[in-house]
Structure 1
Amino acid sequence: MRAVWIVSLVVSFGMASLVCAHPKPEAAYLNGDDPLRILILYSNQRSLPANMDLQRGLWWSLQESIDAHQIELYEEYLDIHRLPQGSEKSNMAPYLKRRYWGFEPDVIVAVGPQSIDFSRELLSGIFPDSPLIFAGLWEGQLTAEEVTQWSGGVFYELSVPKVLELVMGLLPDTQEIVLVGGSASFDQELLQAIRLELEDLVPWHVGEITDASPVEIEQAIQQLAEGAVVLFTTYFMDYEGNAFIPRRVLERIAKESPVPIFGFFDTMLGAGAVGVVSASTVEHGRKLGKLVLRMVAGESAEEIGVLTVPATEVLIDDRGMQRYDLDVESLPAEAKVFYGAPGLLEAHPVFVFLGSTVVLIQTSLILALLWARREKQKAESQAVEMERYFSTVFRESPNPKAVLRVSDCVFQDINPAYEEFFGIKREDAIGRTAEEVGIRALDQDPQFLEDFFKAGRRHRGHELKVQIASGDVRSVELFCSTVEIGGVSLYLIVALDVSDRIQAEKLRHNLARDNRIAQLGQISASIAHEINQPLGSILSNAESALMHLDALNVPNQELREILAEIKSEDRRATRVVENIRAMLGGYSESKAPVNLLQVIDEAGCMVQGEARRRGIDLCLPPSDICLCTVVGERVLLVQVLLNLIFNAMDAVESLPASQRLVVVDCDAITDSNQICVSVSDYGRGIPPNEIAELFEFYYSTKKKGMGLGLAISRYIIEDHRGRISVGNLKEGGACFKIWLPSKPNDA
């Protein structure tokens, strides 16, 4: 019950909060975008009952703002009583500085005198701009001048007269009051404050048991005579520096005490105190939370003032009343009695258990029925919601979709994308078949679509050409699934426009064909180069022989005719080889002005689809680059770029998706009248020992490569009076560069 509260309050009150910073000028923090950060500094450990009660009240006040992410609460426990003397403050200050580095709290709350002292000495240097609030101090513990130094605070009332009134009401024959407390600074300060007030209120002897261990206090109390009353204050530390929890000390000394013990904090109830008159620790936390909310909402410290929790709690332990034979009728009207006589459960546990079991079973059955009913309603609601959801998905889908009845393939519904793609209206389609609205499959049986749907199985990606009502032809890929709604079997048809893909495939097919033709052309060039040398030698020898014959005037006409025939056949063979080379190369020797940006765009268009398929980001140069005209063969230059781009994509394909990047760039080098086109990848690069051989015929770094692409590319570029090179990038990957002379009138 409330018995746990007193020690907690003592600790929290042994941890009163100070906040020595200036309040921020416009403190309506809750209206900002970022949550308000509040740092709570408790003097002692978290397990103290007073700390837990104060924390509970604080969270209750701030819970709504915390749940709305308007406030973030951070809590630190200085635990000064238990740490080695002299080290706790010096160690805690740098710890807080490191922990909240770059994260200065908006408000700091110091709970307890130790926390206040710590804040005075060290905290203002760590968080100089954070407003400070104190809590956990009794009225009079700070002077009026000291109070004005803080942004706000909450006191609790320490009412010695009310405790004395309770004692006199229950024990009118009291002749001596004995104060019991510990040796900690807070213990001594509280004990002396109570003693001074008691001396002005009673004529009896006021004694003290302090600077003693719990064992010594227990022994001293057992020596007290009848007519004495013990007032327990707090006990955080003994004279040897050992730390204690006050509630535990009270439990020990009250166990065999011959005289009643009273206290000043609600956390002492249930630990042996007969009665307690105190301010509520939970209410203290609530008021602290309300003060924070008022400050952050914009109220100034002058408008709020210092709040006080009055000592209105009169808490009585009925076990102590019976132990010391005290009259319950002598209690004040506001007193609350705890730990009274056993109730029905304690008096008749078996009957209460059986009755509770029967009620529990009946309640469980009722709850089970209610739960089943709720689940049924929930399922029905979900079904309606899912139907609405799928209806929305069907209508809003960017892909053409249609619903057909299985029995006759009649349209039941189509979405707007289907209307737009096939050029029909929904009201015209519903109730009719595809053939009736003018949609038919080309190069297929007229009943193909109907037979396709009636096949009674799922179709995935069936591709065909369809003629729509307007007469246009569309290439589509059909997906068909069978569903049942309301006992009716329906087809769900999804049609995808694959015209772009087919066009891309055609481009790739043409690209492959052009690539093979270019490769054959370059191979023929290599063959021609090799054959022309012996043919040239034959021709030279034949001409030399004829010249010698003419010089010697040899009359052998037959020999002359043979040599002349060799010369003629050699020239014919040369022409044949050149013709074959021109035919296989697929291009003429004539060159024309070519815009390199158009070449790059054409190559990019041809590989864009493949790049998307591989998940590669292909970056092309902007279209506003000037000085990009060269003289050359457009087809061959496109072929070179395609070879380089495909090689770059191969290099990055195995990398993570975020690193698959191929960059094509184009720069005009004005001082040398050249244009540089680069193709860069960010793969693993090229081994330095392989760069020199990379452009040789039949040399490849790929397992299945032919070793022709780069050799052919170099041949084409050199034929255009340019050059091609390769190098590794510092950040990884390779960069191929092509230099071509720019057109003179564009230089």
Structure 2
Amino acid sequence: MTSKFFRRGSGISRTPPSIPSVAALGRGYEGLRVGAQISWLPATQWKAFCDYEKALSESLTDQPMTRLCAYPVEAPGVAEILDVARTHHFSLARRHGQWDVFEASELDRPNEKIRRRDEEQLRKSEERFRAVFENSAVGIVLQSGDRSGRFLAANAAYQRMLGYSAEELRPLTFMDITYEEDREANRRLANELLEGKRQSFDLIKRNRRKDGTLMWVSIHVSLIPGTQSNDRLFMSIVDDITERKRAEEALSRSERQFRALFEEAAVGIALCDSAGRPFESNRKLEQMLGYSAHELRGMPFTAFTDPEDAPADWSLFTDLLSGKRDHYHIEKRYRRKDGALLWGDLTVYIVRDDRGQPMFSIGMVQDITDRKRAEQALQEAQAELAHVARVTTLGEMAASIAHELNQPLAAIVADANASLNWLTKPHPDLDGVREALTAIVQDGHRAADVIQRTRQLATKTDPQKVRLQVNDVIEDIVALIGTELRGREVSLRLDLAPELLPVLGDRVQLQQVLINLVMNGMEAMAAVGDRRRELLIRSQRDAGQVLVVVQDSGTGIDPDKMHRMFDAFFTTKPSGMGMGLSISRSIIEAHGGRLWASPNAGPGATFQFSLPTDSKGEA
């Protein structure tokens, strides 16, 4: 629009429509007059001035909006006129044919609200950024967006990390606080950011604190673009991960130690899944079984376990998975790849996650094949020695056994002769013959029992453990020692508890232990002449075990020799071998029990042994 100037007195000018003018048109105004400082105009002349403005407006009907400025200057220029328009104090506006007087701000209010709203939002945004910047738990740094990376601002968290104040950081660059070995990587990434090759980068590196110590940090760096009034900036988010790195290093060190222990262990180790398949195994286990790690990975442990031992091992393993136990220990046989048998001492633990669910199991196996062979050889030697001891005992009891045998044989002969005499009479006494023959049968069985028990003790056999009643074993040996008791003038008293639970044992070996204890008791009473010679055999329950007591009224036990009485070849008898009690203890211990001795409160001594019960059923 062409500008025109009208002069009257102090001067009237017309200027193009401005933003306030457009806003006024939008609100239904037909014309606008903007006045500058007109304090020179008396109030009595305002009506005349308005009439003038009205006439002037009517003469400018070709323009929808006119803006007038009045100012007291003689020779105004365009700059002055525009300046007056920008700094006007009030306006005259026509709407619906009427002129009103307004403060300029009333016409300009919508834009003012927008401006104030924008300023308020900017202020709040700056306040939020400042609050985040100052109160963040991680370090926030602003650095110059050039290759120097000079510090411009650092929040309190970052200052605490490095021990520098904001003032001490300003002359420094990011290279000054970066550990020497990490500088090149940091410089390369920063250059790529400046060259536009990346929008941001993440880096884990070491920084050097003010005190010289090193710290690990994780940084996220982005480039903030510049504006006409502001240069571009590096903004870094810095997290102190020193403790995490220490924990990672400790974990890594622990893993290296575990790996060294795992690979160099003297025992076989395997990590197994829930199906019992080793997903990791060490060299020792591979050497023991003859399989490679790859071969073991596809095999459940039952595949290289001896078939007789596999069910028990698998049952324990399922208990482990179900939470019934947290570990188990078992001695079992393995089958090597070449088919050879290997004995292993196995311990298995379960590893669970935070929810208690099984993750994997750890099995540790020690090769005990040599030990098992030595144990077998020892058992054979002990069995041989026990047999010798039994035969020796039978030799000592030969007279008693012969007497036990002679009694039924003599009775058989007598009854047979009587029967013959009765049968030769004209009227045979058949009832008498019948009774005699019945007695002969009974005495024959009695003699056969003596021979069978004697044969059992004399025969060399491998130990055979079966479920049996201890009271039956006691009654077996009583049948053999009756004559010995009478010959030594010893009275025997039995106190056997009824309905004892069965034990798992070798009948002959347990008979040998009882005969040895009874014979020792009778020999201990041989020199007793001032009191009765009494021998007590008692059986009773004792906390899930069966306890057998053999008590005599002899000379007792010398306290100085108590600790040696179960040693091999130790004896107090002039003609003894010193093997009886040693063999008896080894037999009881092989049955899972215990044998011990103690002096009586009165005369004599008591020998006791306990055996674990086998409660799976009746014997």
* TM value normalised by structure 2: 0.29
Greater C-alpha Rg: 2
Higher relative contact order (CA 8 A, sep 6+): 1
Q: TM-score, normalised on structure 1?
A: 0.24
